[in-house]
């Protein structure tokens, strides 16, 4: 099991007795106003480990702090660079649809990567070469809709669905998507008549007022196979699949400490600009010390609780605690680890604006170096160096 923050701090007692006294003595007292619930959720920010130092930009936010837009048919809320300024190249949207409801036909300026959190949905995407893709997705499955490709999402089943959307654009906003109903109402009726070759009475039926965005509807009357057969009369199937069944995927890496599923352009060719890893860390275990050379890391914490220390260099480091529905961010090249501090599995997403997942393991680097170089830098003996894990560990007890 993971140790408490106080027990963790005892490990650093040799660093500075004065620092330890400051943390546990009168210097750490706080008799003024406090948000005790927030402090309880983030004890490592309230009283950080002695190894924390300097100023590090905030790298934590939570969907539970954001405004939820609720409409008949579901809801949505988002964490973007407006909420987490350090995240300049990625943003996330959490959305729920009730049975049969649609996220209306629309398209974006950014790519949309998604993971199903619960339930089932039917998704469509239309490609620039005139192909139509349709598939049903379930919990744990992914999709990728390229920028500019129009698409839709419809909830299936009595419980509807919930999903996370990730965009490769930090200032993305769900309020600024290009919606079908919005375009139609801002086009002169006579142009609509000519474009669709429909009479005025038909054009009068088109949506008026606020854009549909999320709206209630009936579930599809036809099976996926029947809908695909109908669609093929007008549009061919695309060469690529725009969904990925990550829920049934065999982990890329697995050990007693947990598992990692890596999904990028190598096994999900449609995802050319966004790479991801789904990480499960067992209680008391850690995601080893590492960094990523080809992109910043945007995180979504799906389950459990943990803590992360981020080291961006220049003698700075900061530790924060995370819980389910939180968002984390690690700048490109910054060293970090993640520890499961709870009593259940910790599950989180690692997302990158990159075609492939890349990382540098501190352990693998040290073991790959000549022993004399490691000893000179660390003061460790040859026997001690040999105990450092080697190989593709990633997760450690």
Q: What CATH number is given to the structural domain containing 257? A: 2.60.120.10
Q: Return the pLDDT at 27.
A: 81
Angstrom distance (rounded) from CA 80 to CA 93: 8
- pLDDT tens digit sequence for 62-104: 999 999 999 999 999 999 999 999 999 999 999 999 999 999 9
pLDDT (tens digit, 0 to 9) for every residue of the chain, 397 residues total?
444 545 444 444 444 445 555 555 678 888 889 899 889 999 999 999 999 999 999 999 999 999 999 999 999 999 999 999 999 999 999 999 999 999 999 999 999 999 999 999 999 999 999 999 999 999 999 999 999 999 999 999 999 999 999 999 999 998 889 999 999 999 999 999 999 999 999 999 999 999 999 999 999 999 999 999 999 999 999 999 999 999 999 999 999 999 999 999 999 999 999 999 999 999 999 999 999 999 999 999 999 999 999 999 999 999 999 999 999 999 999 999 999 999 999 999 999 999 999 999 999 999 999 999 999 999 999 999 999 998 777 999 9
Question: 256 among the known binding-site residues?
Answer: no
What pLDDT, in 10s, does the model give residues 185-228? 999 999 999 999 999 999 999 999 999 999 999 999 999 999 99
Task: Assess whether 15 and 151 both reside in one domain.
Answer: no
pLDDT for residue 20:
55
Give yes or no: residues 112 and 159 share one domain: yes
Query: Are 89 and 218 found together in one domain?
Result: yes
Which residue among 244, 269, 291 closes a domain? 244
Q: Quick check: is 22 in a domain?
A: yes
Domain match, 79 and 218 both: yes
Q: 3-state SS of the chain: helix, strand, coil percent to 5?
A: 20, 35, 45
Structure tokens at 152: 């839709």
Tell me whether residue 139 is one of the annotated catalytic residues.
no
Q: Are residues 303 and 370 in the same domain?
A: yes
- Of 221, 244, 267, the one marking the end of a domain is 244
How is residue 147 written in tokens? 């920028």
Residues 234 and 365 grouped into a single domain: no
Residue 367: phi, psi to the nearest 5? -75, -25
Query: Is 377 part of any known ligand binding site?
Result: no
Residues 127, 76, single domain; the answer is: yes
Q: What are the b/e assignments for 197-226, b being 16+ CB within 10 Å? A: eeeeeebeeeeeeebbbbbebeeeeeeeee
Which domain does 45 fall in, by range? 5-51
**CA dihedral of residues 97, 101, 103, 105 (deg, nearest 10):** 170
140: left (phi over 0), alpha (psi -120 to 50) or beta: left
Q: Check residue 53 and report its DSSP letter.
A: B
Q: In this predicted structure, what is the pLDDT of residue 31?
A: 86
Helix locations, 100-197, DSSP H = 180-185, 189-196
Q: Are residues 212 and 335 in the same domain?
A: no
297 annotated as a binding-site residue? yes
The reply to whether 336 sits in an annotated binding site is yes
Is there a binding annotation on residue 67?
no
Same domain, 258 and 368: yes
- Per the annotation, does 112 bind a ligand? yes
* 77: its two tokens: 């809320």
Q: Which residue blocks in the chain are alpha helix, DSSP H?
A: 5-10, 17-24, 36-41, 43-46, 180-185, 189-196, 200-203, 224-231, 362-368, 371-378, 382-386
Provide the domain count of the chain.
3
pLDDT of the residue at 29: 85
Do 269 and 288 belong together in one domain?
Answer: yes
Judge contact between 84 and 154, C-beta under 8 A: no
Catalytic position from the list 23, 288, 350, 359 = 350
């Amino acid at each position: 099991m993971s140790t408490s923050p106080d027990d963790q701090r005892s490990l650093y007692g040799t660093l500075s007795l004065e620092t330890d006294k400051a943390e546990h003595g009168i210097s750490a007292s706080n008799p003024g106003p406090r948000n005790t619930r927030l402090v309880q959720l983030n004890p490592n920010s309230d009283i950080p480990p002695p190894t924390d130092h300097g100023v590090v930009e905030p790298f934590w936010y939570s969907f539970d702090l954001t405004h939820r837009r609720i409409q008949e048919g579901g809801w949505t809320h988002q964490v973007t660079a407006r909420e987490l300024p350090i995240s300049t190249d990625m943003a996330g949207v959490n959305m729920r649809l009730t049975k049969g409801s649609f996220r209306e036909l629309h398209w974006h300026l950014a790519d949309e990567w998604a993971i199903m959190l619960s339930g089932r949905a039917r998704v469509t995407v239309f490609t620039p070469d005139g192909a139509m893709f349709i598939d049903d997705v379930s919990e744990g499955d992914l999709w990728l809709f390229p920028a500019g490709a129009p698409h839709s999402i419809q909830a299936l089943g009595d419980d509807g669905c919930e999903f996370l959307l990730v965009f490769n654009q930090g200032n993305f906003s769900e309020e600024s998507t290009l919606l079908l109903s919005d375009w139609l109402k801002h086009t002169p009726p006579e142009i609509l008549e000519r474009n669709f070759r429909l009479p005025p009475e038909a054009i009068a039926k088109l949506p008026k007022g606020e854009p549909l965005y999320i709206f209630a509807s009936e579930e599809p009357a036809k099976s996926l196979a029947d809908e695909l057969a109908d669609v093929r009369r007008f549009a061919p199937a695309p060469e690529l699949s725009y969904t990925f069944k990550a829920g049934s995927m065999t982990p890329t890496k697995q050990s007693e400490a947990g598992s990692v599923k890596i999904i990028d352009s190598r096994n999900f060719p449609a995802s050319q600009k966004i790479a991801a890893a789904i990480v499960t860390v067992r209680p008391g275990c850690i995601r080893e010390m590492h960094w990523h050379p080809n992109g910043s890391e945007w995180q979504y914490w799906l389950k459990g609780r943990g803590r992360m220390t981020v080291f961006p260099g220049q003698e700075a480091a900061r530790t924060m605690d995370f819980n389910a529905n939180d968002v984390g961010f690690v700048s490109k090249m910054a060293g970090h680890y993640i520890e499961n501090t709870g009593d259940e599995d910790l599950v989180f997403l690692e997302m990158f604006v990159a075609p492939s997942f890349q990382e540098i393991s501190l352990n693998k680097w040290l073991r790959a170096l000549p022993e004399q170089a490691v000893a000179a830098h660390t003061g460790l003996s040859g026997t001690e160096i040999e105990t450092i894990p080697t190989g593709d560990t990633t997760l450690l007890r």
